[in-house]
Structure 1
Amino acid sequence: MELKCTSSPNGIPLEEYKYSNADFIIPGITWRKRREYKDNLNFLSAFDKSLRYKWAEKMEQGLFRYPLRSLQTSILPGRVKYVAQLNIKRGIERRKPQDIRSIQEKFNPSQFNFNKIKSEETLFAMVRSPPGKAAESEDDGLRMNKHAESMLINGWESRTLVVINVSPLEFGHVLFIPEPSLCLNQVLIPDLVMLGMESILLSGHPGFRVGFNSLGGFASVNHLHLHGFYLDEELLLESAPCKPLCSKMSFYLLTDFPAPGFFFYTDGQDLVTVSRRVCRVTDYLVGRNIAHNVFITRGCDPGNAGCPEARQGIRVVIWARKSCFGSKEESAFNVALCELAGHLPFKNQEDFTNMTEESVIGIIKDYLFSDEEFRILSMELSEYLIS
């Protein structure tokens, strides 16, 4: 890991965070070990310390839409143990989502995009070292989409901006943005998926999470980005049981979980391959105009499902869901990447106080496919991946 100062495309000084596979923390610490540390943060990595310090500095400088201190948090009674948090300010102050009508909608420079943010909102640029390593890996027969090819051709594949989310969900809420001047729309590319997995491995905190909302899946800006944030609570998703859909590609189906979804598992040794496979799935969904959400977290390998302490690798979970175009938002919470994963940022005190696990599941189910639709999609994806 190396920190150095460089210049952004507009000439403003920008710190680079250079990293390599040698900086990955494999395996990460368990939740039990995390609890033993209590308020002692010595388990944090250099990546965590840099991100958290700079993020807190931006908060002190007043660059966010509202101050975010410790959020009121509770665990809903029940098997899922939903993590409920009261974040009224986000519901009021966050930027109004753009009017999106298609999951394949093109980038529109006249709308808000990340070329228009203040330079002070950028924490640093993440630079994979050695440059271009992802592009030099052997072709495993999986196609990259056109956005990825464009990035590789233009040499931007190893540089990603880390920018504060000015309407934060939680402490350390940032956006990972591939070079903004490329003006990529909100469709996942392999290099960004890999960056998301790498950031999980760079973090020493078991609660650092990364996610993606597609257009129609409550993405509020049509400019390619991932979310990253710290949630200092364990989620059932990390150890939920599964069944194989395509074992040789480490592609599984979540079972016994309120929001059925698909996931890829990696021990951290095959990030290039997994990132391309993830995008084969999301490209398929985009091609079918199916909205989706993605959640990346440390988690159990399929052989140790149900054992929360065996979080040896990474789960990349993908939910296909009903599209939300111009629909009214839920009063309690929107159903996007966090909510599907088990993290509920509530917009008002009444729902935060009165919501039950049963009522949460009822809201979430309204945004998911029927059992039969999901069964058919599962079969189609399995056949598509091996074709």
Structure 2
Amino acid sequence: MYFSSLRIVSGSSMALSHYSKETSYLLPPNNEDWEEKGIPDFVYGQKELIVEGIQWPRNAPSALDTPTRFDSALCSAWRQRVELGLFRYRLGELQTQTLPGAVGFVAQLNVERGVQRRRPQNIKSVRQAFDPEQFNFNKIRPGEVLFRLHRKPNDCSAVQQEDILVIINVSPLEWGHVLLVPEPTLGLPQRLLPGVLRAGLETVLLSSHPGFRVGFNSLGGLASVNHLHLHGYYLAHRLPVEGAPSEALDPGGHLYLLQSVPAPGFLFYTSGPGPDLEALISRVCRATDYLTDHEIAHNLFVTRGAPPGKASASTMLTGVRVILWARKSNFGIKEGEAFNVALCELAGHLPVKTYQDFSSLTEEAALALIQDCLLPPAQADEIQEALVALMAQEEL
């Protein structure tokens, strides 16, 4: 197991022993004190975005022996909410195995999430409007908010980052599982927008942990709440999508097809912050707008990884990969299956619901479940052609 000494991803009380003193203000002792003081701020600058030197250790201490200010703030506040009893269950150390086979699926047994997570809302369309009567993030308990994330004013970036609330996922997949929610009172439906995608990319760059990932599920792609949000969480394992090979789909090298992974996906890549990252955000959102407008469900996964091209076995993660999957619509949780297919499963992380399934799951069975959620080849080819055409418009 990668990071065998790392306890931040196991729910252990040993999690992240080195905290930054400047983040102590992020820890209100109880809900009443939180309401009195308001939401704490986590303000960051572009200089805190880490581009180089992130890698999976080889028989080394965990990357979080030297956590960033962001890691310290998130994990210390998250652990405090555990002690306050704000989660639906107390996340213990999850049984984890890498399934034998060529893919390298990482399976985890998470019985409590399968049983106790909130039932998905009644969704009938990828473009469904926000409904204030349904559960949404304006209805959460005050203590579920960890902090407000935003850039320093007049930072070197030309783009002003909007404020994003970082809140706990009360039914966590793994240690540090949070939701990134742009101003909840706006009532934004679950449709990807540039501001929240930028925040997701920058939180990955704010972390020194190679396994901090961010993702998005569209409506019909197993999003359970129709209120705009991204997921973020720590997982101390490499995943197939980090170094999988890809082929360029357009002459400009803006869009790639990811290969040799659980499911073929569209790959976007950036080496770091600045104009390249802003161009990536524009491309990704144009692609997801196309899918949404055409009622095509989709999932998106953000992880540190290797540049596009040939397969990479290197432990060095030189940039950020954004993988986008178009898939069949599924407007509810399927009972009786080992796992449901959304952003983390497509990336190779399989949260399994029962011990029986966990002990018997094979790579072949996992691939069959995933393949069942993919689009027919003819429709997939049509979407690929449309996205390539969208990228070509950028060159004009």
TM-score by length of 2: 0.87
CA contact (8 A) 1:101 1:326 kept: no
Q: 1:316 aligns with which of 315, 318, 322?
A: 322
Measured in 2, the distance between the counterparts of 1:284 and 1:331 equals 31
- Once structures 1 and 2 are overlaid, which stretch shifts more, 248-257 or 359-368? 248-257
Which consecutive residues of structure 1, in runs of 5 or more, have no partner in the other structure?
A: 138-151
Residues 226-375 of structure 1 aligned to structure 2 (within 5 Å): 226-248=230-252, 250-269=254-273, 270-303=276-309, 305-326=311-332, 328-375=334-381
Code of the residue aligned with 1:324 in structure 2: it is N
Which consecutive residues of structure 2, in runs of 5 or more, have no partner in the other structure?
A: 1-19, 27-34
Secondary structure at the counterpart of residue 201 of structure 1 = helix
Distance 1:326 1:72, change over 3 A: closer
**How far apart are residue 338 of structure 1 and its match?**
0.6
Measured in 2, the distance between the counterparts of 1:189 and 1:50 equals 25
Secondary structure at the counterpart of residue 37 of structure 1 = coil
Measured in 1, the distance between the counterparts of 2:366 and 2:81 equals 34
Residues 17-166 of structure 1 aligned to structure 2 (within 5 Å): 17-33=42-58, 35-38=59-62, 41-130=64-153, 136-137=158-159, 157-166=161-170
Once the two structures are superposed, residues 276-329 of structure 1 have per-residue CA deviations (whole angstroms, 9 ceiling, x without a partner) of 111000000001000000000000001463233242000000000000124634
Once the two structures are superposed, residues 236-265 of structure 1 have per-residue CA deviations (whole angstroms, 9 ceiling, x without a partner) of 110000000125252111012220100110
Secondary structure at the counterpart of residue 194 of structure 1 = helix
Q: Percent identity?
A: 49
Code of the residue aligned with 2:185 in structure 1: it is S
CA contact (8 A) 2:262 2:348 kept: no
**How far apart are residue 70 of structure 1 and its match?**
0.9
The number of equivalent residue pairs is 364
Measured in 1, the distance between the counterparts of 2:310 and 2:372 equals 31
Task: Note the aligned Cα RMSD (angstroms).
Answer: 2.2
Q: 2:385 aligns with which of 366, 379, 387?
A: 379
**How far apart are residue 128 of structure 1 and its match?**
1.2
**How far apart are residue 133 of structure 1 and its match?**
7.2
Secondary structure at the counterpart of residue 248 of structure 1 = coil
Measured in 2, the distance between the counterparts of 1:342 and 1:336 equals 10
Measured in 1, the distance between the counterparts of 2:252 and 2:115 equals 46
CA contact (8 A) 1:200 1:210 kept: yes
Secondary structure at the counterpart of residue 138 of structure 2 = helix
CA contact (8 A) 1:332 1:346 kept: yes
